[in-house]
A and B are shown apart, each in its own frame.
Chain A
Amino acid sequence: MIPSSYYLILSAVLFTIGVIGVLVRRNAIVVFMCIEMMLNAVNLTFITFSRYLNSLDGQIFVFLVMTVAAATRST
């Protein structure tokens, strides 16, 4: 099995790219896209811990994060 740190580092890199995008870009739509990317990076962390701790709570959290993201997008 792949060490969990690989996934966590990948997630951190994606989150960092999202942060850079939010800070550097001025286009409002692109900033929203970068925020979605950051949410996804956090989701990856949740799923990783859910897998490596043999628990389903992380996946439920991701499900709720997706719901909230969809709700914020629709308004």
Chain B
Amino acid sequence: MELALFVILAVIAVIAAAGVVLSKKAATSALFLLLNFCTLAGLYILLNAQFIAVAQVIIYAGAIVVLFLFVVMLLSPGKEEGKDRTPYAKIFAVFLAVLMLVEVGYVVFTGVLGGTSGQYTPEKMAEVGNVQAIGQVLFTDFLLPFELASVLLLVGIVGAVVLAKREL
């Protein structure tokens, strides 16, 4: 059951990712990207990360893809900018990327899963609750990165305002 669900989601994710790269129109790419993000959210639920799955749908599918669609429809970039890559460059790019895939695959299949096991087993997560457990860790062990992320978002807001209004 779990394996069947994984295979279905994985196939849809790969097809959607290929669609992002291959589709001619930018708007179609954005919609394929939405499909890719949603299948990844399903995979996160399979991996017992419910909070991240919901955050994925809200942030990526809800905010980022909508922003992409806004940009595509407001600017309507239509044609590809500049000259297309030459066929040799495309083949070389695909070759390099596949080489990287082979390297990663080699490491995944021959290496062992290192690292020490933590305390958050699925049983404990079911008992405490995923969101509560993440909040507990986020506000104790990872308090400084959390606060820095808030500063980063503030910088993003200020930057957006400064860029949007040339004269304050």
With known contacts A26-B84, A29-B71, A47-B52, A12–B104 Cβ distance under 8 A:
yes
| Residues of A that sit less than 8 Å from B by CB | 1-2, 4-10, 12-21, 23-30, 32-34, 36-37, 40, 43-44, 47-57, 59-60, 62-64, 66-75
Interface residues in B95-134 by Cβ distance below 8 A to A read 96-98, 100-101, 104-105, 108-109, 113, 115-122, 133-134
A-B contact count (CB 8 A): 201
Contacting pair B133 A56 (CB below 8 A) = yes
* Chain B facing A: main interface SS: helix
User: Which of A9, A17, A62, A72 lies in contact with B105, CB distance below 8 A?
Assistant: A9
**Are A29 and B63 in contact (CB-based, < 8 A)?**
no
Report the contact-size class of chain B (Cβ under 8 Å from the partner): 35 or more
A73/B121 in contact, CB under 8 A: no
Q: Please report which residues of chain B, range 30-51, place their CB below 8 angstroms from some CB of chain A when the two chains form the complex.
A: 30, 33, 36-37, 40, 43-44, 46-49, 51
Are the C-beta atoms of B149 and A64 separated by less than 8 Å? yes
**Interfacial residues, chain B to chain A (CB-CB below 8 A):** 2-3, 6, 10, 13-14, 17-18, 20-21, 26, 29-30, 33, 36-37, 40, 43-44, 46-49, 51-52, 55-56, 59-60, 63-64, 67-68, 71-72, 77, 80-85, 90, 93-94, 96-98, 100-101, 104-105, 108-109, 113, 115-122, 133-134, 137-138, 141-142, 145-146, 149, 152-153, 155-157, 159-160, 163
